[in-house]
Amino acid sequence: MTANPDGRGRPVHGVAIGIIVLDTAFTRIPGDIANALTWRFPVQFHVVRGVTPQRVIGGDPDDYLPPFLAAIDHLVALGVDGITTSCGFLAAAQPPHTPYSPVPVATTSLMQIPLVRAVLPASRTIGVVCTDKARLTDDHFLGVGAPLGLPVAELAADGPIRTAMRTGARVVDTAAQEEEVVETVGALLRERPDIGAIVHECANLAPYSARLREVHGRPVYDIVTLVDWLHAGLRPRRFG
């Protein structure tokens, strides 16, 4: 006999993870959170229309929170068992999401910082890569239980990644974007050689994590590693 894990009635089956996606137009390549080819398991997307990255980054959570709570209602009603989002700056909104949702919610890859910190040698710290350093505040770190004062690297405002996001680029120069991430992290590591691991704030950087690890030799954690972890608990592997 087969039954739903929690006994809920649901119109959609076989999808454990729901992904709330911001209202964007730029091309999402494999590895990006909003490209279905990124995932080794089915996912259910839901776009929060009218909520752009600009509205979230540096915005007031009280302004954009209602559409996200409505998205949680929609995805849970469909039948997902866990939810994530497509912008690391939603770390500031993690506290109100968690008590509201009846299923686990992991809003941001920054949630991995406490775990990564726990496994690193005491002499090592974590480097964070973000899209807008000035707007990455203490509230974003405190919202996910992360320590303050970590070294942060920022992607250039006129670089290929932020330009593609801002202009809604339909064609993406993946080689240029990868090189930008590698160079950005390289500069951070030259300044802070005590960095033992990298955590991407931006949910669009996972396509370049493997190259970062190859070039710089540090573990890299991103939105994909977070969602893989969340899914592993929702759908544990069977052995034997």
Q: Which of 165, 205, 206 is nearest to 54 (CA)?
A: 165
* Residue 127 φ/ψ, nearest 5 degrees: -100, 135
Query: Residues near 138 by Cβ (< 8 Å), separated by ≥ 6?
Result: 148
Residue 2 is predicted with a pLDDT of 66
CA–centroid distance for 213 within its chain: 18
Note down pLDDT in tens along the chain; length 240 residues: 666 767 778 888 889 999 999 999 999 999 999 999 999 999 999 999 998 888 888 777 778 888 989 999 999 999 999 999 988 878 777 777 778 899 999 999 999 999 999 999 999 999 999 999 998 999 889 989 999 999 999 999 999 999 988 888 899 899 999 999 999 999 999 999 999 999 999 999 999 999 999 999 999 999 999 999 999 999 999 998
What's the pTM value of the predicted model, to 2 decimals? 0.93
Q: How far apart are CA 222 and CA 31, in angstroms?
A: 10
Q: How far apart are CA 167 and CA 43, in angstroms?
A: 27
Query: Residues near 43 by Cβ (< 8 Å), separated by ≥ 6?
Result: 15, 17, 18, 19, 36
Exposure on the CB side of residue 111, measured as CA atoms within 13 A: 25
Q: How far apart are CA 183 and CA 198, in angstroms?
A: 13
**Placement of tokens 């890859």 in the chain:** 109
Cα-Cα-Cα-Cα dihedral sign, residues 188, 147, 104, 135: negative
